[in-house]
Each structure stands twice: as C-alpha cells, then as structure tokens.
Structure 1
Amino acid sequence: MKTIKIAGVPEHFNLPWHLSIDDGEFEAVGIDLQWTDVPEGTGKMCQMLRDGTTDIAVILTEGIIKDITNGNPSKIVQVYVQSPLIWGIHVAANSSYETLSDLENSIVAISRMGSGSHLMSIVNAEHQNWNTEKLTFEIVNTIDGAVEALTNGKANYFMWERFMTQPLVDAGIFRRITDCPTPWPCFVIAVRNEVLEQHPKVIEQILDIINTTTEEFKMIPSIDRTLASKYNQKLDAIQEWLKLTHWSQEQMNEQSLDKILEQLLKLQIIDKKLPKEAILK
C-alpha cells in the first residue's frame, strides 16, 4: 500500500474526493490516500507542499501559480474545476458600507498573504480601478477569524467563496455587497516534483479515479441533498451552485496558462513568467 497525502479546503468542491476515498477506490489499487482539510486555504497549502506535509493539493489556480513562480517545487498536473470561483465580497451585517465603491481604501481581511482571499482582493481592486498599492490587509487565517475581524472592526470586508459564506449571510453575521468571479478556472491539482518523479504511475491512478468520479458526480441520486446537508447549505443554493460548477478532467493548455500568467503579471501578483514546463506537468 502506497501512502499519499492530499490536502484541500473543507468545501463542497471536494466532496468527489471524499466519496472516492470512502468507497475504497484508491485502496482497491493499493493507494492509501490520506486527506487533510485545510480551512486556512491556498496560502497554507502552498506551505504544506513546500515543507512536504502534503504530496498533493487541490488548490486555487492563481495561488499555486504565484507560489511556483516564487520557488515552490511543485507542478500543476490537471485542472480540477474549470468554472470560475464566485467570490462574495462581504461586510459585517451592521457595517455602514453599502456599495463596492465605499470599500476603496478600507481594510480587507485575508486568510494569509498569497492566499486566494489576498490575491482576489487585488483582482477586485484592479477591476474597480483602485490603487492596488494602497490596499491594507488584516490577516485572519480562517473564516472564523474573518467573522471576528469584521465584527470587531479590525477589518472592513472579506472575500470568500460565495456559497460557503451564504450561511453567515443568512444568519445576519455578514452582508454580501456583490460577487467577483475569478477570470480563470478556479481549482487545479498540484503535486510536489519529488512525488511526480518517484511515483508517476500512482499519480496517474489517482487522477484516473477522481476524474471518473467528477464526470459522474452530478448524476449521483440526490447529490444536491447530500451536499446541502453536509455543508450546511440551503437546497436551492446548492442546486444553483451545481449548475454553475463544471469539473475538469484535462490538463491546462498552454494558451490558457499564458492568458493567466499575463493577467497575474498585469496585476503584479507575479513579477516574471516561467516557461510552461516549470508550471505544468
């Protein structure tokens, strides 16, 4: 049995992994796939890939490309979710901020530097023609930290996946001002170079299994009810999310990568463009 460590956010996008693990599909081919939930998100998973505490990460595209550019010894082996991630822009329910323009020059809560919540706040600022160099950040680590920071006024707004934050909106803790979709496919699968070199067949088997699961995922009977129950969501919200979400079973092509790199360069999220071979397997 070959042990492989994998990390991802505890969100509905990753239910296909849990179903495949619970069904014993990896075990059946001699792979002990050990999943770790990482509520801190992409910045934390980049660190885990660097220090070897995970072999694989299901991770935000912009975050891992930035970190590979900065020396993370990993590669993207496949796009996992092709559709954009819809980021909700949230304020405290009792906040005086009413419109997106009100948030210019205010403090943004982020899970950590290099995380999706950090990078997407730059994307949003660029879209609004704000001066991105004037953005001020409060590091909150997790969504619970963001609740605390917005409630006590340490930060003014927080960007997180819209559907996962909906229960906080429904509970009157957050108020969502608007949405900001990513201008690229949202999640990719990244693997440490050492693991790719030593166990290429194992990685291939893992991808074959998860791709079969994601291809059939929407056809699973009552999958909307399962998701709603497991992730504390309303059924109609999950049904909307399922319509908007499209998993991928393919590697990113060179044209798509180049387009993403150009956008990240323009936003000054990266300072150079690595060749395709340094990013994609």
Structure 2
Amino acid sequence: MKTIRIIGVPEHFNLPWHLAIEEGAFRDRGIDLQWTDIPEGTGRMCQMLEKQETDLAIILTEGILKSIAEGNAVKLVQEYIASPLLWGIHVSSESDFKALEQLKNKKAAISRFGSGSHLMAYVNARNQGWNTDALSFEVVNNLDGAVKALSEGKADYFMWERFTTKPIVDKGVFRRLGDCPTPWPCFVIAATDQFIENSSSTLRHVLEIINLYTREFKSIPSIDRTLANRYGQQLEDIQLWLSKTRWSQQQISAATINEVYDMLTLLDLVEQRKSAKEVLFNVD
C-alpha cells in the first residue's frame, strides 16, 4: 500500500475527494490517501508543500503560482476547478460600512501573507481603482480568526469564498458588501517535485480516480442535499453554487499561467515570474 499525503480546505469543492476515500476507490488501487483539512487556506498549504509536509495539495491557482515564483519546488499537475472562485467581501454586521467604496484605504483581514485572501485584496483594489500601495493587513489565520478580528475592530473587511461564508452572513455576524471573482480557474492540484520524481505512476492513478469522481459528481442523486447537510449550507445556496462550479479533468493551460503571472506582476506581488513550462507537469 502506497501512502500519499494530501491537503485542502474544508470546503464543498473537495467533497469528491472525500467520497472517493470513503468508498475505497484509492485503496482498490493500492493507495492509502491520507487527507488533512487546512482551514488556514493557501498560504499555510504553500508552507507545507515547501517543508515536504505533504505530497499533494488542492490549492488556489494564484497563491501556488506566487509561491513557485518565490522558489517553492512544486508543479501544477492538473486544473481542479475550471470556474472562477467567487470571493465575498465581508464586514462586521455591527460596522458602519454599507457600501464597497467605503472600504478604500481600510484594513483587510487575511489568513496569511501569500494566501488567496491576501492576493485577492489586491485584485479587488485594482478593480475598484484604489491605490494598492495603501492596502494594509491583519493576519487572522482562518475564518474564525476573521470573525474575531472584524468584531473587535482589528480589521475592517475580509474576503473569503462566498458560499463558505454565507452561513455567517445568515447568522448576522457578517454583512457582504459585494463579490470579487477570480479572473481565472480557481483551484489546481499541485505536487512537490520530490513526489513527482519518486511517484509519477502513482500520481497518474490518483488523477484517474479523482477525474472519474469529478466527472460524475453533479449527477450523483441528491448531491445537493448531501452537500448542504455536510457543510451546513442552505439547499438553495448549494444549488446556486453547483450551477456555477465546473470541475476539470485537464491540465491548466499555459495561457492561464501567463495571465495569472501578468496580474501578479502588475500588482508587484512577484519579482520574477516563471514560464508555463517551468510550473506545469505533464503526467502523460
């Protein structure tokens, strides 16, 4: 039995992995796939990849590309979610903020530097025509930390996946002022160079299995109810999310890699970009 460590956020995007594990699909191929939830998100996952604390990660495209540009020995082995991620822009319901333009020059809560919440704050600022040099941040680690920081006034707003954060909005803890979609496919499957070098054939098996599950995922009977129950979501929210989400079974394109690096370069978030050839691994 080949043991493989994999990490990802504890969100509904990753249910296909859990179903495949629970149904023994990986074990049938001689693979012990050990999943660990990382609620801190992409910044923490980049660190774990760099420290060889995991073999694979389901991770935000822009975050891992920034980390690779900074020297992380990782490759993208496949696109996972082909659709954009819809980032909700949230404030405390007790705050005086009622409109997005009021957040100009205010402090953003972020899970970590280099995380999606950090990078997307720059994308949102650029979309709004704000001076990105004026952005300031409060590191909060995870969603619970963001709730605390916003309620205590240590930060003014927090960007996180809209549907994951919706229950907190429904409870009246957060108020959502708007959305900011990523301009590219949001999640990829990343592997350390060391894992690829030592286990490329096993990696092919992993991809074959997860691609089978994601290809059929939306056609599973009552999958909307399963998602709503497992992730504490309203059924209508899950149905809307499912309608907007597309899983992928293909490698991410070189054009997308260049597009992400164009944005990271424009925002001065990377000093030296990588070519698509340097960051993509062809499993065939």
**TM value normalised by structure 2:** 0.98
Once the two structures are TM-superposed, the CA of residue 265 in structure 1 deviates from its matched residue by 1.1
- Which residue type is aligned with residue 153 of structure 1? G
> Are the aligned partners of 2:74 and 2:191 in contact in 1 as well (CA < 8 Å)?
yes
- Which residue type is aligned with residue 268 of structure 2? Q
- Which residue type is aligned with residue 62 of structure 2? E
Within 5 Å, give how 1:45-56 maps onto structure 2: 45-56=45-56
Within 5 Å, give how 1:1-281 maps onto structure 2: 1-281=1-281
Q: 2: distance between equivalents of 1:195 and 1:159? A: 32
Once the two structures are TM-superposed, the CA of residue 34 in structure 1 deviates from its matched residue by 0.2
Corresponding residue SS for 1:72: coil
Q: 2: distance between equivalents of 1:197 and 1:41? A: 26
Q: 2: distance between equivalents of 1:151 and 1:273? A: 38
Q: 2: distance between equivalents of 1:90 and 1:176? A: 4
- CA RMSD in angstroms, aligned pairs only: 0.7
Q: 1: distance between equivalents of 2:154 and 2:250? A: 42
Once the two structures are TM-superposed, the CA of residue 255 in structure 1 deviates from its matched residue by 1.7
Q: Percent same amino acid among aligned pairs?
A: 57
- Which residue type is aligned with residue 87 of structure 1? W
What are the superposed Cα offsets for residues 156-195 of structure 1, whole Å, 9 maximum, x if unpaired? 0000000000000000000000000000100000000000
Q: 2: distance between equivalents of 1:106 and 1:118? A: 14
Q: 1: distance between equivalents of 2:68 and 2:46? A: 9
What are the superposed Cα offsets for residues 211-237 of structure 1, whole Å, 9 maximum, x if unpaired? 000000000000000000000000000
Q: 2: distance between equivalents of 1:167 and 1:255? A: 36
What are the superposed Cα offsets for residues 244-265 of structure 1, whole Å, 9 maximum, x if unpaired? 0000000012122112211221
Q: 2: distance between equivalents of 1:269 and 1:220? A: 41
Corresponding residue SS for 2:189: strand
Once the two structures are TM-superposed, the CA of residue 273 in structure 1 deviates from its matched residue by 2.1
Deviates more, 1:21-30 or 1:271-280: 271-280
What are the superposed Cα offsets for residues 99-149 of structure 1, whole Å, 9 maximum, x if unpaired? 111001111000010000000001001111111111110000010000000
Corresponding residue SS for 1:84: coil
After superposing on structure 2, the runs of 4+ consecutive aligned residues of structure 1 that deviate more than 3 Å are none
Corresponding residue SS for 2:221: coil
Once the two structures are TM-superposed, the CA of residue 266 in structure 1 deviates from its matched residue by 1.0
Deviates more, 1:85-94 or 1:262-271: 262-271
**TM value normalised by structure 1:** 0.99
Q: 2: distance between equivalents of 1:275 and 1:83? A: 23
